[in-house]
Amino acid sequence: MSTTSAVTFWDGVYAARPAATDPRPNVRLTETVTDLPPGDVLDLGCGQGGDALWLARRGWRVTAVDVSAVAVERLTGLALAHGLADRMDAERHDLRESFPPGTFDLVSAHYLHTPLDLDRATVLRAAAHALRPGGRLLVVDHGSTAPWSWDQDPDVRYPTAREVAEAIGLDAGTWTVERADAPRRIATGPGGRTAEVTDHVLIVRRTA
């Protein structure tokens, strides 16, 4: 599918949602990052921007990217409204064609799922190579389908965190898997609806 089609699809997804005024961060991000010293962070697939805003508030210098121009424009506005514009750059990237330049202390990829063609292993490999020594790649994937998900395919299979790590194919002499598990939690969806969901959590640390 073309870049134009990808932009059109995701612009439609976000345009159909009310613009958030103070979106919440993902729980797997907050539990992982709270004790880390702030640095430079890349947020891949920033969506409504809850993670990016939370990180900026904690002193991180944030590069937030999404394929959707709607998502990027909304986040840019939120950063200004919350006084965080000096700590955040929101950029539109189609990760099939471009990857943000620079090196980072943290790269966060939460629920980077799409019905469109995307070589995730290549994207996540680029993310790992963008880490500075000591930096971490945090990949959080769906391990189950929430009742409110846009993707209700009953035949979908979510790769485990270990399978994701194997697909990335990183050299064990340079990167170490610090976490690869499948915790459960109670998630809250639109309208306050709740359901138990499973996350697949992978943390890879660059050691050299």
Number of domains composing the chain: 1
Place of tokens 């995701």: 10
Q: What angle do CA 12, 25, 69 make, to 5 degrees?
A: 25
pLDDT for position 1: 47
Mean pLDDT computed over 142-170: 89
- What pLDDT, in 10s, does the model give residues 183-206? 999 998 878 889 999 999 999 999
Which of 84, 85, 49, 81 is CA-nearest to residue 68?
Answer: 49
**Which residues form the domain of 126?**
3-206
- What pLDDT, in 10s, does the model give residues 123-146? 999 999 999 999 999 999 999 988
Are the C-beta atoms of 99 and 63 separated by less than 8 Å? no
pTM of the shown model: 0.92
- What pLDDT, in 10s, does the model give residues 31-55? 999 999 999 999 999 999 999 999 9
- H or E segment to which residue 44 belongs: strand 40-44
Q: Supply the CATH number for residue 171's domain.
A: 3.40.50.150
Cα–Cα dist 141/121, whole Å? 13
